[in-house]
Amino acid sequence: MKSPDTKNNSVDSEAISGMLKRIIAENGRDHIWGYAIAIICLILVAASTAYIAYIMKLVINEAFVERRAEVVWVICSSIFVAFVVRGFAGYFQSVILSKIGNNIIARYQRRLYSHLMTLSVGFFSEARSAQIAARVSQNVSGIRDVMNLTITSTARDLLTFIFLLGVMIIQDPLLSLAVFAVAPPLFLALRYVSKRLRAATREAVNLNSHVLGAMQETIQGISIVKAFTMENELERKINKLITAAEHRQNRIARLSERNGPLTESFAGFAIASVFAYAAYRSIYYNVQPGAFFSFATSLLLAYDPARRLAKLQVQLERAVVNARMIYELLDMEPRQRDLADAKPLAVTEARIEFRDVHFAYGDEAVLSGVSFVAEGGETTALVGPSGAGKSTVINLIPRFYDPKAGSIFIDGQDIAHVTKQSLREQLAYVSQQPYLFEGTIRDNIRYGRPEATDAEIEEGARLAYAHDFIQAQPQGYDTPVGENGVTLSGGQRQRLSIARALVRNAPILLLDEATSALDTESEAAVQKALDEAMSGRTVVVIAHRLSTVVRAEKIIVMQNGRVVEEGNHETLATADNGLYARLNNLQRPAVSGTSRK
């Protein structure tokens, strides 16, 4: 019966073997000719190294014992040629493997980004962005390293070691046997080190992602940090994380380099023994030194590939851990796949209907039996206290999440049975916190519809009341916006996001409290832009300020995940003991004198 440690070692070996097979299967075929040329170059490196050791016997015997000058010139010329071949072969294999490795990293970065785009919003809500970034930046090189380590270790180090071992056996079989009799304990010790290194490497990646995440949060919320004098508290938090990461990296360094004293001690013992034995035979038996020098040269040259082979398992452990973390991400199945019978959404009136919709984030129920209709071409407003479920309703329409029960229809088509791509092409979305991407103002508006012309972009900006402030920028529409639009005000960023929605020219517009974070002047400008955006479209809008929704054709009042009232402003505001009426009374100064048109 196997012990637990033996069983774990077996599982780990199988996992590593399976990972190696997968990586080689995915990348070997695409680069087979490059790897073939690199392997040939590595074989030349191994063969020339072995030749240099082998020829030492002739150099010593013919030059220093027999003193045959004519033979020495031939031998020296062949040594020069061997070194030239070794140098050029080493250069070409290094360049080829570097190019292949860079291509592998680029391919997996593209593949990772493409796969991340297929994952649901729920995944990104649960995962830390810094942790994802750390995996992409730190772990993707593991796949390249697995391939390069496998090729170089097999074709260069292993072959060099075998060729040199052959030279050693030819020159002195008994001494060769004695040298390698002490090798097994060394490899057992290295196996133990590699096992401990595997767990430390994974922990280090996780700790580094936490460090990056904490720094990212500080940078993004620097104004809050300064306003609440949080510098010292956050610095203590960061220092604690950095210290933990530092200790973990130090542990990895100790484990990684622990094979140094092991291999050096083994090499020192072997070489000292060889010299003692050779000296003994030369002194007492008058044996010519040529074979010994050839053997000693082989042993010394074999030390470097043997040392690299001894470190191979440790290096592969680290590379495989990194590769495995990449594949964990790549193998993650999207939670919201298009159903087998999914068809493109055909929009006519853009009428949206919720039928007895239930939803929960994990075990926390958010919506319970929500039913309402947003008529095509009209504005439907969602109001209610915080936590009522309004934003969840908005998030269900583009299928950022799927209901736990119930159905959502657009023009009579269940959106669960249409393709997500066709569904989202019919939607424009303006969030409470507008997000701008790196690039120019023009680029950010064009994201609404990549094929939009410059004239359409400028028209969208005019309708969003953004054209004038854009023209006032140093480079107009070609002005870089900085990270998340840091060079623009909140109202300007919001109007650009509205311009992006207008350029999309979608029949359905979703507005998630698009003016709640703005000052009065910015809100007035953005509200004008919203009035243009809402014209002729089906609009579902969330607002805490009732003044922004009193003109809506329908108002849905929500509380505790349920629809509790439905109507227009006049009917709801005059209802006895109604929730909307109470909210309206609390905000009366804001909505007084406003009538429904």
DSSP 399: T
In this model, does residue 4 exceed pLDDT 60? no
pLDDT of residue 156: 81
Over range 402-417, report the average pLDDT.
Answer: 93
The model's confidence at residue 130, banded by pLDDT at 50, 70 and 90, is low
Class of domain 14-330: mainly alpha
pLDDT at 436 over 90: no
Secondary element (H or E) of residue 327: helix 290-330
Q: How far apart are CA 353 and CA 366, in angstroms?
A: 18
Segment 539-543 mean pLDDT:
88
Query: Average per-residue pLDDT in the chain?
Result: 80
Do domains 350-426+508-517+536-592 and 434-505 share one topology? The answer is: yes
pLDDT of residue 47 exceeding 80, the answer is: yes
Quick one: average pLDDT of 246-261?
Answer: 71
Which whole number is the average pLDDT over 195-214?
68
Query: Half-sphere exposure of 312 toward its Cβ, with a 13 Å CA cutoff?
Result: 21
Q: In angstroms, rounded to a whole number, what is the distance separating the alpha carbons of residues 476 and 100?
A: 43
Cα–Cα distance measured from residue 38 to residue 52, given in angstroms and rounded to the nearest whole number: 21
Q: Is the pLDDT of residue 370 over 90?
A: yes
Per-residue pLDDT at 194: 64
pLDDT grade, residue 540 (50/70/90)?
A: very high
pLDDT higher than 70, residue 224: no
Lowest mean pLDDT segment, chosen from 182-191, 212-221, 527-536, 576-585: 182-191
Range among 183-187, 188-192, 214-218 rated most confident: 214-218
Tokens 């504005």 belong to residue: 379
**Under 8 Å between Cβ of 329 and 112:** yes
Q: How many CB atoms lie under 10 A from the CB of residue 401?
A: 19
187-191, 231-235, 393-397, 487-491: which range is least confident on average? 187-191
What whole-number distance in Å separates Cα of residue 467 and Cα of residue 475?
Answer: 13
Residue spans of the domains in the chain: they are 14-330, 350-426+508-517+536-592, 434-505
Q: Are 134 and 19 in contact (CB under 8 A)?
A: no
Q: Which residues pair with 428 in a beta bridge?
A: 509
Percent of the chain with pLDDT over 70: 80
* Least confidently predicted of 63-72, 379-388, 492-501: 63-72
- CATH number assigned to the domain with residue range 350-426+508-517+536-592, chosen from the 4 options 3.30.2020.30, 3.40.50.300, 3.40.1390.10, 3.20.20.140: 3.40.50.300
pLDDT score at 293: 76
Higher pLDDT, 289 or 445: 445
Using only the alpha carbons of the chain, give its radius of gyration: 35
Query: 266: burial class by Cβ within 10 Å (0-12, 13-18, 19+)?
Result: buried
pLDDT at 258 over 70: no
d(CA 357, CA 393): 9
Q: What is the CATH number of domain 434-505?
A: 3.40.50.300
Rounded mean pLDDT, 218-224: 68
pLDDT in tens, 305-355: 877 776 776 677 778 777 888 888 888 887 778 888 889 999 999 999 999
Cβ pair 449, 484 in contact under 8 A: no
* Sheet arrangement for strand 379-383: 427-430, 508-512, 538-542, 379-383, 554-559, 562-567
Residue 443 in tokens: 């680029």
